[in-house]
Structures are given as C-alpha cells and as structure tokens.
Amino acid sequence: MKRAALHNLGCKVNAYETDAMRQMLQENGYTIVPFDQTADLYIVNTCTVTNIADRKSRQMLHRAKKQNPSAVVVAVGCYVQTGKEAVEKDPCIDLAIGNNRKKDLIPILEAFLKERTGTPGDKTLGGTTVPDMRLLAAYEALEIGGTSEHTRAYVKIQDGCDQFCSYCIIPFARGRVRSRQREEIVREVRGLAEAGYREIVVTGIHVSSYGMDFARKEGGDARKEAYERGYLLELLRELDKIEGISRIRLGSLEPRIVTEDFARELRGLSGLCPHFHLSLQSGCDATLKRMNRHYLASEYYEKVRLLRRTFAAPAITTDVIVGFPGESEEEFAQTEAFLEKVSFYEMHVFPYSARRGTNAAQMPDQVPDAVKARRSRSLLELKKRQSRAYREAFLGKEAEILFEEPVVIGGIRYMTGHTREYIKAAFRTDDDLRGLILKKRLCGFLEENILLAE
C-alpha cells in the first residue's frame, strides 16, 4: 500500500493538521494522490462544528469507500471525537482516530494493517482511538515543512478552547486550552522561511488564549494573566524577526484581547498585516448573553475603533450567527443596525444550527428555518455592499501584493495575489511572479471580488 489521498474539512487548524499528516505519510513512503483518484488509503480530517459538517464528513468517508471498496478508510478529528458511537457503526470507516492523536497516525496505521484480518474490502471496523479530551494537558506535537499552498503557510500555535459558548461543541471536541512552546513555533517558521514561504498565518482553535495554560500553572486568572503578560505578543515579536518572513497574518481574535497596549505593540511589528478577524456573532446584548459571549456590543465596537485609530484602513472581518434561539425581530434589527454601524470588510453569515450536546440546542424559542433564511439573505446583501465599499476605498492607491498563482480570466492571463489587507488583486502579465511581493496601483474591479492592478 503506497497511494494515499487526504481530504480536509473545516477550519485552518484542520488544514494545518492535514498538511502535517500528509508530510508524515510522504516520509513513510506513501505517494500522495488527489482524493478523487483511486488510492489504497483515504484519510478524511473531519469537522463537527455543525450538523451539516457532520454530514459532509460522513459523505466524504462514504465517497472514499465507494471509490475503492478495498481501500483503508480512516476518519480523523472532531467528528470522530464527538460522534464515536456513530463512527463505530459506520461500515465505511475502517479506522477512526480522535483529536490529539494525529501525531500517532503512522504507528496506529501500521498496527492496524499488521493485525487486520479478513479479506480486502472487509468492512468491519478496525478500531477507534479516541482520547478523553477532558484529561489532556499536553499540546499535540505536530510540525510541517510545507503546505499545499506555495506562498502562505498556516502555523498552529495552540489547541482547545475554554470559552464554552452556548452554541459551540468545539470545547468538547478539542478539549481545554493547550499551547505550543514558543521555541518549537519559531523553529518551524524558520524552516518554512528557508523553504520559500513569505507569509504565515498564525492559527489555533482560540488564538487569543495562547499561553493561558502557562499562566494557569502560576495561579490566578489565567485569561487575564495571559493577556496582560502578552504571551501572544512575545511570540509575534520573535516571528517578526525571522528573515524571509515578510508577512504575519493573525487568525480569529477574541475581542477582549484588543487593548491600547496590544494594538500599539502590533503596530510596531513590521510584518504584521492590518487584517483582523474579530468574531462577533451578534450585535444584540441580550443575544450575546444567551450565547455566553463575554462582552457587550458597545465593547466590541470600541475594539474596532481602537484598531482603526492604530492602523490605516485595517481590514476588519467577523462571524455572525443568524436566528439564534430566542432572537426576535427586534433583536435581529439591533444586530443589523450594529453591522451597518461597524461596516466590515467581510462577514461570514451562518444560520444557527442546533448542535446536539450544547446548551443552545435545549433553549426554547427556536427560530424557524424560513425566518433564518430571510435574515441571512438580508445580511448577505449588507455584506456585499460593505465589502465592495471597502475595496473601492483602495482604488487609485498603491498596494503591496504577494503574488500566488496565475489565472486566465476572459482569455487573458493574470497573476493573482493578496494585499496586506487580504484584498485579492490581479495583474496582467505572462511572467511567473509567484512568491514575489510587488507594489502595484489598484485601478478597478476585474471581478466582484478581484481588483485590477497595474
């Protein structure tokens, strides 16, 4: 068995972990092939953030077994962690590996293959490896030397979440906060720089909690200690010094971490991209309270204003849940008005989906799907207007573009890439500019979400 195919579902952390597993397989003699081709081994890194994510995970696992009934199909990650009983009953899954055990993929796989009985195509489950996430205290040691992208690499700095928002299953799937040692992260990023990567994206399940477990060992308020002592800032300062890394982009941030000192320190990092994802979820205080979010809408707005005072035209992006249990028309109107006031570069709009095992799934006054759909359409229209307005503000201005790949649009070849604010831009050329950062003037819209550079 030498052909392996991997498919990733879900977040940037999953993408990083999939790259790490791909690297492990290559180092152990496997040839990686596309997921839609015949392989001897299929690995699906699953997601469980919503019921739809669970369904997509099952679909990909079943697709893999259909493509090659004699292949070994391995389910990995969050869906395995929260849906162990369903996984064990699924005849398409030969082997299941939960979270914090991806680092052990090769020995688990080898043991399974050695002990497996029956003929090829035997659909009997080979086994499950699902740790109790409540008992985990150590960060899972994974590392990458490259990714499927050529210019940008995701770098995982922590795992787990202690927030316990009422709608979210992730603390149960990923466990409590576990941070990676700074020295390990710096070493990995140096290797990525040597491999030619120009930009890194600092990611984790809850990036702002980086160092909370370090602070907890010292007693006191772990979140306060982590934020005030600046574990994340200390890490970013080290990464900013690494030769070859031109850009550092942050993953989703907890609004409460944004203070005057935090923003000022970020402004002093030469590679820090002015692109901040502050998860909101609702602009109504009553809804935020039911969600168990730990801030008011007014506090969130002050964080946005602070970033805009500190950085020139930063890109502010967010997530919004529509139709959370108990969300009345008045509460939705408050959220819509708040979004209008803030004016985001991008918004990810999600109709609320009841997730079994969470407090929100048991709440009264569940909102009908038709109402969620109507409210989602309204916010998506707002998102479209705000996103275009943000891009329009850059027309006629010069911007640094990290070029990533060639594309053909309307029969014309362009090199496309992203500005520091993560605006996608296209420059007409036959040259291969991948990996180069060049200053270009943004002069118009090539497509709805692509600016033309000259």
In a domain, 101, yes or no: yes
Answer with the one of 343, 373, 392 that is the final residue of a domain.
Answer: 392
Q: Is the pLDDT of residue 357 over 80?
A: yes
In a domain, 139, yes or no: no
User: pLDDT value at position 51?
Assistant: 85
In a domain, 45, yes or no: yes
pLDDT band at 52 (very low <50, low <70, confident <90, very high): confident
Same domain, 317 and 440: no
Contacts (Cβ under 8 Å, ≥6 apart) of 400: 419, 420, 437, 438, 439
Taking phi over 0 as left and psi of -120 to 50 as alpha, with beta for the rest, 127 belongs to: left
Same domain, 262 and 360: yes
Closest listed residue to residue 179, CA positions, set 148, 130, 147, 136: 136
Which CATH number characterizes residue 9's domain? 3.40.50.12160
User: Rounded to whole angstroms, what are the CA distances from 348 to 79, 97, 175, 198, 318?
Assistant: 22, 30, 25, 27, 6
Same domain, 315 and 407: no
Q: Is the pLDDT of residue 126 over 80?
A: no
In a domain, 209, yes or no: yes
How many structural domains does the chain have? 3
Answer with the one of 351, 375, 392 that is the final residue of a domain.
Answer: 392
Q: Is the pLDDT of residue 147 over 90?
A: no
In a domain, 145, yes or no: no
User: pLDDT value at position 134?
Assistant: 57
Same domain, 405 and 373: no
In a domain, 203, yes or no: yes
Tokens of residue 297, six digits: 């809408």
pLDDT digit string (tens) for 55-109? 999 999 999 999 999 999 999 999 998 888 888 889 999 999 988 889 999 999 9
Domain that holds residue 449: 398-453
User: pLDDT value at position 219?
Assistant: 64
Q: Is the pLDDT of residue 120 over 50?
A: no
Q: Is residue 94 within 8 Å of 129, Cβ to Cβ? A: no
pLDDT digit string (tens) for 379-425? 999 999 999 999 999 999 999 999 999 999 999 999 999 999 999 99
User: pLDDT value at position 44?
Assistant: 97
Same domain, 209 and 121: no
The least confident of 138-142, 304-308, 365-369 is: 138-142
Q: Is the pLDDT of residue 343 over 90?
A: yes
Closest listed residue to residue 153, CA positions, set 238, 245, 36: 245
Same domain, 278 and 169: yes
User: pLDDT value at position 433?
Assistant: 97
Same domain, 168 and 184: yes
Same domain, 379 and 406: no
Same domain, 425 and 288: no
pLDDT digit string (tens) for 168-179? 999 999 999 999
Answer with the one of 73, 100, 131 that is the final residue of a domain.
Answer: 131
Contacts (Cβ under 8 Å, ≥6 apart) of 277: 250, 251, 252, 253, 316, 317, 318, 319
Across the chain, mean pLDDT equals 92
> β-strands 315-322, 346-351: how paired?
parallel
